[in-house]
Amino acid sequence: MVSHDHPGGLRVRLGRRVALTLLVLASAASATRAEEAGQPLRPVTIVGDAIPASLTGAAGDPARGRALVLDRTRGLCLLCHAGPFPEERFQGNLAPDLSGVGARLSEGQLRLRLVDGRRVNPQTIMPAYYSLAARTRVARAWQGRPILEAGEIEDVVTFLASLRGPARDQRTGP
Ligand code: HEC
């Protein structure tokens, strides 16, 4: 799978990974009934382009949120996004850089984009991390489960809200 030397190799490899990942995420996000998992999604209230209230009623943990964003088996955010993560060599360029996103968007706006970005842009390729609305056939193990749990969404929201500086400062330090 690794092809460091070929100039086009990385692009091909990432292209395949994006396709595969989207397939996996689409499957994970889709379900027939939330009740099947015994854990229906918590109700969310959308106001404008935001979900103002925390899904759990509490603030998230930014360190756990950062770990989720970097985790290539959970959030997978860096498949599409870049951000202030100097330790990560491969970052995506299919989506806006997450540097400074906490200064551009409110917590509520960040929350809606994670929960279900289709509410903002119906054509988005970004997975809906807390939605069961997709309609793809999925394996039983993945039915009725959002990609991230409510508490994990809050961890990521709290972390993203803390990203306030321009990309350059966050990458290299002041
Ligand atoms: C498959 C690609 C993909 C993945 C994976 C993905 N995103 Fe996105 N994301 C996008 C795209 C594309 C946009 C631009 C909005 C749109 O599609 O209209 C976006 C927009 C955003 C925005 C709004 C940014 C802005 O400046 O307006 C945030 C915040 C965000 N994503 C966070 C995340 C986080 C956190 C994760 C991981 C949990 C993630 N995204 C995973 C593709 C992705």
Q: Three-class SS of residue 120? A: coil
Which residue in the block uniquely carries the two structure tokens 């690794």? Answer: 2
Cβ–ligand 1 distance for 75 under 6 Å, the answer: yes
| Ligand 1 atom 1 nearest Cα | 126
Query: Residue 47's beta-bridge partner residues?
Result: 50
Q: Three-class SS of residue 29? A: helix
Q: How far is the C-alpha of 92 from the C-alpha of 105, rounded, in Å?
A: 20
Which ligand 1 atom is nearest residue 22's CA? 1
**Mean pLDDT computed over 86-108:** 96
Instruction: Tell me which residue of 139, 131, 145 sits closest to 39, measured CA to CA.
Output: 145
Q: How far is the C-alpha of 164 from the C-alpha of 167, rounded, in Å?
A: 9
pLDDT classification of 143: cutoffs 50, 70, 90: low
Domains defined along the chain, listed by start: 9-172 (1.10.760.10)
Cβ–ligand 1 distance for 111 under 6 Å, the answer: no
| Ligand 1 atom 38 nearest Cα | 75
Q: Identify the pLDDT of residue 39.
A: 64
Query: Residue 30's beta-bridge partner residues?
Result: 133, 134
| Ligand 1 atom 22 nearest Cα | 113
Q: What is the pTM of this model?
A: 0.79
